[in-house]
Chain A
Amino acid sequence: MSTKGHWSARARRVATGAALYLGAVAVGLGSAWWVLKKASWLNPSVEVGAWRANMHAGSQDAGLYTRATIAVNALLALGRDETMYFVATRDDAGQTLRAQCNYRITGVPPQARWWSITAYAQDLFLFDAPNGHYSLNGTTAVLDAAGRFSLSTGPVEQTGTFWLPTPGTGALILTLRLYNPAPSLQAAPQSLVAPAVQQLGSCT
């Protein structure tokens, strides 16, 4: 092989090696992003109805993946003795919540000093609600004769319930926050009487 050919082959090998290592770095970064954004099942959590909670959120006991997942998706969370966070991304039928669909959420006030249910868009920020309603909470909730609250989310206001507008398309994320939860609930999060999340009508 000529000197020129030798250097050409060597350059090709170096370029191929560099491309492969860059690919490996991309796979490493991409898999990390996927795990933190999409693979919540990797984190130890409690599921109650449509709601899921990570009991190590904000805790110094959090593992590598839990700490990173919370930082990416719910930065500055408090530990569960102060606040418990339950998140719903699916309805009771297991269908992914979508901003363009209408839902009714009903339940009894959880065992906590104060609570709230907030609707978030896919980017994890609040919807631009024209009526300024971003959440229903322990102060604003009106209970019926059976002691149950009711709210609706979606692009269309539902009569008879507190409406959280969710303009636009994309995922809908509901967060139930329990401030100063009862010790019994902290000890057994699965004992939460989970608010029902039901789709209203059809949605395409």
Chain B
Amino acid sequence: MNSFTDSQRLWFYRVLSLLVTALLVHVAAVWAAPRAIMYVLIHGPTAQKMNMRNQAAFPEAVTARSRTVVMPSPDMLYSVCAFDLRDGPVRVQAAPALTNYWSIALYAANSDNFFVRNDRQSQGRPVDLWLVAPSPDKPQKPVPPGSEVVVSPSSTGFLLMRVLTTDYQTEKAVLEPARRTLQCSQV
């Protein structure tokens, strides 16, 4: 026996489809949020203004006026590069030669940190990375001697170099040349 009227059945399906829509939008928004944020970071107005596509850029020391990325560390001097591997590998080189903490971290287009190299791991040797796309469309160039191949999970991403600073004004003369050894270039 069917006790539901056509109208009740119609409303049941309407409510069900609304709930499914809300759920799908919710999951899609949560999935898209990190990708959208990274897209703006890599391609947005700040990235364009700083001209950081496959090129190292050196933002000012962090202060209360630093409002590009949430929770900036006031104890780190940041250097950045938005890498794009669609036209070929990107070579990352740095030789900060500092005794305090520094690191170079690579982030995928979904915000995952997929690679990090710090001063202790580099043991005083320069960093030389040959960053390649997960499945390159074009034939790959030969890896330069001494370069370490790093496969990025995505064809675009973000490089963040951190250099510890506890008093930037006092340490500026040492830290600025050290961080500016960072090179990020499409060969």
Shortest Cβ distance from A89 into chain B, in angstroms?
Answer: 13
Q: Is there an interface contact between A24 and B25, defined as CB atoms closer than 8 Å?
A: yes
- Chain A, 114-131, contact with B by CB distance < 8 Å: what is the 0/1 string? 101010100111111100
Query: How many chain-A residues does the 8 Å CB contact rule pick out?
Result: 55
Q: Does residue B33 face the partner (Cβ distance < 8 Å to A)? A: yes
* A134 and B74 contacting across the interface, CB-CB below 8 Å: yes
Q: Is A48 an interface residue (CB 8 A)?
A: no
Q: Contact between B34 and A67 (Cβ–Cβ < 8 Å)?
A: yes
In the complex, A17 Cα to B14 Cα: how many Å? Answer: 8
Which residues of chain B are within 8 angstroms of A28 by Cβ–Cβ distance? 21-26, 28-29
Docked Cα-Cα span, A123 to B28, in Å, equals: 24
Cβ of A24 and Cβ of B19 under 8 Å apart? yes
Label chain B's interface by main secondary structure. mixed
Cα distance A55–B154 in the bound complex, in angstroms: 23
Q: Within the assembled complex, what's the spacing in Å between the Cα atoms of A172 and B44?
A: 29
Q: Contacts A24-B21, A60-B112, A79-B113: A73 and B71 contacting too (C-beta < 8 A)?
A: yes
- Of A31-39, A90-98, A146-154, A186-194, which stretch is located at the interface? A31-39
Residue count of chain B within 8 Å CB distance of chain A:
49
Distance of A125 Cα from B64 Cα, bound (Å) = 7
CB distance from A32 to the nearest CB of B (A): 4
A9 proximal to B (CB < 8 A): no
Q: A59-B113, A134-B62 are in contact. List 8 more A-B contacts (CB 8 A).
A: A31-B22, A60-B112, A60-B113, A70-B34, A71-B111, A123-B70, A125-B67, A135-B74
Instruction: Point out residues on A near B: beta carbons under 8 Å.
Output: 17, 20-21, 23-25, 27-29, 31-33, 35-36, 58-60, 62, 64-65, 67-68, 70-79, 82, 113-114, 116, 118, 120, 123-129, 132, 134-135, 137, 139-140, 175, 177, 179-180
